[in-house]
Amino acid sequence: MLKLYLSNVFQITYRVFTFIINAVILRYVTSDVLGIINVRPALLYSTATFVSVEAFRRAALGVTESSKWRQAINLVWLSVPVSAAVSAALAGLWLHALSQPAPEVTSEYRLGVWVTAAMVVLETAAQPLVILAQAMLFVKLKVVADMVSLCSRVALKAWLIALYPSHAIWAYCVGHAVSSALLVVIYYGTLLWHVRSPDNCLPVKSASELGPRLVPGQPALDRDQLALTWSFFKQGLLKQLLTEGERYLMTAFHLLDFSEQGLYDVVANLGSLAARFLFQPVEENAYVYFSRTVERGKPVPAAAGRVLHDLLRAMSLLGLVAVTFGWSYSHLLLRLYGGALLTAGPAVSLLRAQCAYVLLLAVNGVLECYTFAVMRQEQINGYNRKMVLLSVIFVISTGIFTRLFGGVGFILANCVNMLTRIYVCYRFVAGLPLEPAVSVPPLLGLRPPPAVAAALVTAGLLAAGSESWLYPSSAAAHVAVGALCGAAVVAAAVYSEPRLLQAVRERVGDKLKRS
């Protein structure tokens, strides 16, 4: 519980901090430079880290027998030479196979690529200690190390960009190098202190045991652990491709130029705030609830059906609110957040499209968490096969829509991908048998009540009229119209869904009592 609480606090703090700092950076750099520092090095870092670290980390953390800890540590140290080879290969690919930026920033771009690759290797050298700390449940150490490292990276980068706006890529390099060095120093310093402490609780008793070692009579690496590492790598490969799919496509095929990539990245991050702060915790809690209350292969019980109905109703209403007000207030939001850099280009159209994507994210998240909670193993395998087909559809639709609509095409392709996933889950849930006590089919939660639908349509029309007549000459009046329309939508929702309001009150009351 403490681990989850601290992790959530850190994630929220870091995201708020990053959100604020990025708003500062946007006022000092061009959209081209923004695309270079936010897309290319980030994709290189995430790809190299996945290939070099993730599978080794998951395999080592699964070791429970103390007699195999030595081999687990050796396994993680194997990731260091792997990361060196992978990072060098990817850096060469980034510099020689992919499109390059303008000549005036090429030298700094090359520096950024090599610094990113070097920092992957440096951080990988700390992974044996990171994994050891995780296995020993050093929760506070992880939170502090991540907080210091990531926040120092963002803050130092913003400070240097403010001082030297023409050298933003150099500022990125310095921030990344300092944050990686801090991460390594914190873990090595803390673990070495524990090893030398008389109250040492670690499975290693000296500093030399933290490095790779041979144990007489035992192989240096355990075959089962190696096989598990390979399995984890194959398992995570599809997830990595789906997570970073759009960045791989825009990078490999140069579907967007650097300026469009920078604007797309900002808008995508801005539009996904709801998914990060609201949808994700709801989905995680819903999955836990459904996995405990619904038996796989059995009819849907009344309580679970009602919860699914209410969640679909609540999340779809939130998504509809985003669509209703997002269209008319995207320009104002981008103007406040990034100034002229975001309002002069296609960013407004991108954010409007992103609002539609938020609606689909809200619905799909609930449907998928219920689907995964009740699917049997063979059904999960079948779903995974369908995901491969959906990935192919996503790639094809991305190529078509991007050439037709530019950056908006990426969001439209994501919408198509999300719609197909919703369709698959909808068909699965609709085919499940219901207990006789289920009075309302859960999927009816996707239909908004008539009063709320009328309020949303009216609010959307009034907000659009306000943007045409009042904005930007009177932004305050435009905001006032939106506030009144929002209040009307909330009143309609409270009138139509009193039980949802009661459930929210009970949830908040429980949290207040626990705190």
pTM: 0.80
The structure tokens listed for 444 are 């009816």
pLDDT interval class at 303 (50, 70, 90): confident
Residue 22 has pLDDT above 90, yes or no: no
DSSP characters for 28-64? Answer: TS-HHHHHHHHTHHHHHHHHHHIIIIIHHHHHHHT--
Task: List, in sequence order, every beta strand (DSSP E) within 146-283.
Answer: none
- On whether residue 333 sits in a domain, the answer given is yes
Average pLDDT of the chain to the nearest whole number: 84
Judge if 229 and 276 occupy the same domain: no
- On whether residue 260 sits in a domain, the answer given is yes
Note whether 410 and 398 are within 8 A (CB): yes
How many Cβ atoms are within 10 Å of 341's Cβ, its own excluded? 20
Q: Report the pLDDT averaged over residues 495-499.
A: 80
Note whether 176 and 38 are within 8 A (CB): no
Provide the 8-state DSSP code for 449: P
Per the rule left: phi > 0, alpha: psi between -120 and 50, beta: everything else, 330 is alpha
Nearest CA-CA partner of 357 in 450, 427, 294, 264: 264
Judge if 172 and 291 occupy the same domain: no
The residue written with tokens 């020993």 in the block is: 136
Query: What is the C-alpha separation between 353 and 323, in angstroms, rounded?
Result: 9
pLDDT at site 515: 47
The structure tokens listed for 153 are 């990276």
Better-scored residue on pLDDT, 368 or 9: 368
pLDDT at site 364: 92
Judge if 182 and 68 occupy the same domain: yes
Nearest CA-CA partner of 362 in 270, 421, 275, 486: 275
| Final residue of a structural domain among 447, 466, 484 | 447
Q: Report the pLDDT averaged over residues 71-84.
A: 87
- On whether residue 218 sits in a domain, the answer given is yes
Judge if 236 and 291 occupy the same domain: no
Better-scored residue on pLDDT, 103 or 349: 349
Residue 502 has pLDDT above 90, yes or no: no
DSSP characters for 303-368? Answer: HHHHHHHHHHHHHHHHHHHHHHHHHHHHHHHHHHHHTHHHHSSTHHHHHHHHHHHHHHHHHHHHHH
Judge if 224 and 195 occupy the same domain: yes
pLDDT at site 106: 74
| Final residue of a structural domain among 192, 217, 240 | 240
Judge if 226 and 277 occupy the same domain: no
Better-scored residue on pLDDT, 503 or 257: 257
The structure tokens listed for 443 are 């999927």
Judge if 184 and 309 occupy the same domain: no
pLDDT interval class at 481 (50, 70, 90): very high
pLDDT at site 514: 52
Q: Report the pLDDT averaged over residues 346-356.
A: 92
pLDDT interval class at 508 (50, 70, 90): very low
Q: Report the pLDDT averaged over residues 297-326.
A: 89
Q: Report the pLDDT averaged over residues 461-475.
A: 93
Q: Report the pLDDT averaged over residues 83-103.
A: 90
- On whether residue 262 sits in a domain, the answer given is yes
- On whether residue 183 sits in a domain, the answer given is yes
Distance of CA 41 to the CA centre of its chain: 17
pLDDT (tens digit per residue) in 327-347:
999 999 999 888 888 887 788
pLDDT at site 257: 83
Residue 510 has pLDDT above 60, yes or no: no
| Final residue of a structural domain among 419, 447, 475 | 447
Query: What is the C-alpha separation between 290 and 389, in angstroms, rounded?
Result: 27
- On whether residue 356 sits in a domain, the answer given is yes
Note whether 374 and 307 are within 8 A (CB): no
Q: Report the pLDDT averaged over residues 446-458.
A: 94
Considering its fold, how many domains does the chain have in total? 2
Judge if 267 and 291 occupy the same domain: yes
Q: Which amino acid is at 505?
A: R
Note whether 210 and 128 are within 8 A (CB): yes
- On whether residue 461 sits in a domain, the answer given is no
| Residue 419, domain extent | 255-447
Q: Report the pLDDT averaged over residues 214-220.
A: 70
- On whether residue 472 sits in a domain, the answer given is no
Q: How far is CA 116 from CA 37, 80, 94, 161, 356, in A?
A: 11, 15, 11, 18, 34
Judge if 189 and 269 occupy the same domain: no
Cis peptide before 346 (omega within 30 of 0): no
166 Cβ contact list (under 8 Å, min separation 6) = none
Judge if 265 and 229 occupy the same domain: no
Nearest CA-CA partner of 153 in 170, 175, 171, 168: 175
Q: Report the pLDDT averaged over residues 192-220.
A: 72
Across 7-21, 116-130, 213-227, which has the greatest mean pLDDT? 116-130
Nearest CA-CA partner of 319 in 365, 356, 276: 356
Q: Report the pLDDT averaged over residues 95-124.
A: 88
pLDDT interval class at 67 (50, 70, 90): low
pLDDT at site 236: 74
Across 83-92, 244-253, 390-399, which has the greatest mean pLDDT? 83-92
pLDDT (tens digit per residue) in 395-423:
888 888 988 888 899 899 989 989 999 99
Across 31-35, 194-198, 349-353, which has the greatest mean pLDDT? 349-353
pLDDT interval class at 146 (50, 70, 90): confident
How many Cβ atoms are within 10 Å of 127's Cβ, its own excluded? 22
Residue 70 has pLDDT above 50, yes or no: yes
Q: Report the pLDDT averaged over residues 481-502.
A: 87
Q: How far is CA 93 from CA 88, 96, 110, 155, 213, in A?
A: 9, 5, 12, 30, 34
Q: Report the pLDDT averaged over residues 230-248.
A: 77
Judge if 38 and 122 occupy the same domain: yes
The structure tokens listed for 207 are 């500093």
pLDDT at site 87: 93
Instruction: Give, in degrees to the nearest 5, the angle at Cα 140 between 135 and 146.
Output: 90
Residue 84 has pLDDT above 90, yes or no: yes
Q: Report the pLDDT averaged over residues 171-179.
A: 92
Judge if 301 and 420 occupy the same domain: yes
Residue 5 has pLDDT above 60, yes or no: no
Q: Report the pLDDT averaged over residues 352-381.
A: 88
Q: Report the pLDDT averaged over residues 9-38.
A: 80
Q: Report the pLDDT averaged over residues 275-279.
A: 75
pLDDT interval class at 512 (50, 70, 90): very low
Query: What is the C-alpha separation between 333 and 329, in angstroms, rounded?
Result: 6
Q: Report the pLDDT averaged over residues 54-67.
A: 75
Lowest-confidence range among 98-107, 424-433, 466-475?
A: 98-107
Better-scored residue on pLDDT, 179 or 252: 179
Query: What is the C-alpha separation between 349 and 408, in angstroms, rounded?
Result: 7
DSSP characters for 456-474? Answer: HHHHHHHHHHHHHHTTTTT
Note whether 259 and 32 are within 8 A (CB): yes
The percent of residues above 90 in pLDDT, for the chain, comes to: 31
